[in-house]
Amino acid sequence: MMNIAVAQSGGPTCAINASLVGVFKEALKESTVDAIFGSINGIEGMIDNHLVDMKSMILTNADMELLRQTPSTVLGSCRYKLPDWHEDEDVYIKIANTMKQRNIGAFFYIGGNDSMDTVNKLSEYFANIELDVKVIGIPKTIDNDLCITDHTPGFGSAAKYVATTMHEITRDSIVYSIPSVTIVEIMGRHAGWLTASSAVLHAMGETAPHLIYVPERAFSLDSFLSDVRQELSKHKAVIVAVSEGIEVPEGVQSGLVDNFGHKYLSGIGKYLEDIVRSEIGCKVRSIELNVMQRCSSHLGSKTDIDEAEEIGAAGVRCALKGNTGKIVVFKRISDAPYTVKIETANASDIANKEKFLPDEYINSAGNNIRDFALDYFMPLIQGDLNLVTEHGIPKHFAIHESVLK
């Protein structure tokens, strides 16, 4: 018999707890698995031996259902970059000690490309010290920027939120007779997937978003102003979707970086709002969707949440087959009917790399998304969650805050 451990890492999503449920449920079925530990705050919990016994935390099927519909990371998260183990072995020794003390034979890390760096380094290190702990990565990120996998759990729900919210903003923006511009800032770091997904509104006959700017194309303020003027000549209310990661002058963002050296991106919408006000002079608003786009599980995609659970379970099967240093990934078989299968890839091929929006998805002017790209986005946002509510509000599963750091 062996125990297993699972941790969640990086930016939250609506689907990361569903993957945790997938790991938990699949491990419960395995007669060779005894305790299922949850590591608090990602890899930090493994370093500090700060683990919870998940069987005493998730007691019933109703608990699992609730956890599945709960956004964010129930076990907490981290943005912790492991050093190169050839140069600094201290934290690796601590992690290996936790593995040995707790008799852990497999470790599952649910995270994005930075977290897959951890999967890669840990699996290499354990092989080097001949410690038999399988390390498997389970993907997630609203940014959808992981290589090899067709898409990442969390993205579909975020895309559904973005499109639904922009649809509602469109209705609100057209009420007055005066011209207006509404700029919606969308997350995604250096990849424009989430911003581009707002184009699904075009399939509903909406002309909005009239302009879509993604980091894959160079951004020019002059072209932006001329685009906005042109759209204002055709539409009373112009809706603009802009990625948080487009190039902007120094000073617009805080300049702060996380442990992986990623800039904290925020403020492009407000910056463009001020420019439109001073240069064009019409009514203008900016809306930063901020964390709502990654935690609004009331608008979660059933496809996304179901797939997140399935890929978590597939991770457990992958480890029990004896694999290590692998990531479970989606391979799309067809758009319609939408079919995917789950495969594995090497963590070393995914860690620290980014997958960008295909160039052909972006129009030649670099200010909108071509219609055929919607075939990619559309299946990922389908289906609604049948949420358990209390007092009219979706219920969440939470562990006591004193357990988290």
Residues designated catalytic: 143
Whole-angstrom distance, CA of residue 118 vs CA of residue 240? 37
State in angstroms the smallest separation of the CB of 143 from ligand F6P: 5
State in angstroms the smallest separation of the CB of 305 from ligand F6P: 18
Q: Which is nearer to ligand F6P, 15 or 276 (CB)?
A: 15
Q: Is 287 in the site for ligand F6P (CB under 6 A)?
A: no
* Cβ atoms 108, 54 nearer than 8 A: no
Stretch that binds ligand F6P, among 137-145, 209-217, 230-238, 295-303 (CB under 6 A): 137-145
Residue choice 105, 112, 215, 312 for contact with ligand F6P (CB under 6 A): 112
DSSP calls for 2-49? EEEEEEE-SS--SSHHHHHHHHHHHHHH-TTEEEEEEETTTHHHHHTT
* Cβ atoms 154, 304 nearer than 8 A: yes
Stretch that binds ligand F6P, among 16-24, 97-105, 184-192, 225-233 (CB under 6 A): 184-192
Backbone angles phi, psi at 220, to 5 degrees: -120, 130
Stretch that binds ligand F6P, among 35-43, 45-53, 136-144, 335-343 (CB under 6 A): 136-144
Q: Which is nearer to ligand F6P, 134 or 140 (CB)?
A: 140
235: left (phi over 0), alpha (psi -120 to 50) or beta: beta
Whole-angstrom distance, CA of residue 253 vs CA of residue 262? 12
State in angstroms the smallest separation of the CB of 79 from ligand F6P: 6
| Count of CB atoms situated within 10 Å of the CB of 222 | 8
Q: Is 265 in the site for ligand F6P (CB under 6 A)?
A: yes
Q: Is 273 in the site for ligand F6P (CB under 6 A)?
A: no
Nearest residue to ligand F6P, scored by beta-carbon proximity: 11
From residue 229 to residue 258, the character string flagging contacts with ligand F6P as x (rule: CB under 6 A) and all else as - is ---------------x-------------x
* Cβ atoms 235, 210 nearer than 8 A: yes
Residue choice 142, 200, 208, 385 for contact with ligand F6P (CB under 6 A): 142
* Cβ atoms 8, 138 nearer than 8 A: no
Q: Is 143 in the site for ligand F6P (CB under 6 A)?
A: yes
Structure tokens at 357: 């929006």
Range list of β-strands (E), 112-236 = 134-139, 180-186, 211-213
Q: Is 294 in the site for ligand F6P (CB under 6 A)?
A: yes
Stretch that binds ligand F6P, among 135-143, 209-217, 298-306, 337-345 (CB under 6 A): 135-143
Q: Is 115 in the site for ligand F6P (CB under 6 A)?
A: no
Binding to ligand F6P in span 2-41, by CB under 6 A: 10-11
Kindly tell me the burial class for residue 7, based on how many C-beta atoms sit within 10 Å of its own C-beta (0-12, 13-18, 19 or more).
Answer: buried
Select from 149, 256, 241 the least CA-distant residue to 195.
Answer: 241
Q: Is 141 in the site for ligand F6P (CB under 6 A)?
A: yes
Can you give the binding site for ligand F6P, defined by CB under 6 A?
10-11, 112, 141-143, 187-189, 244, 258, 265, 294
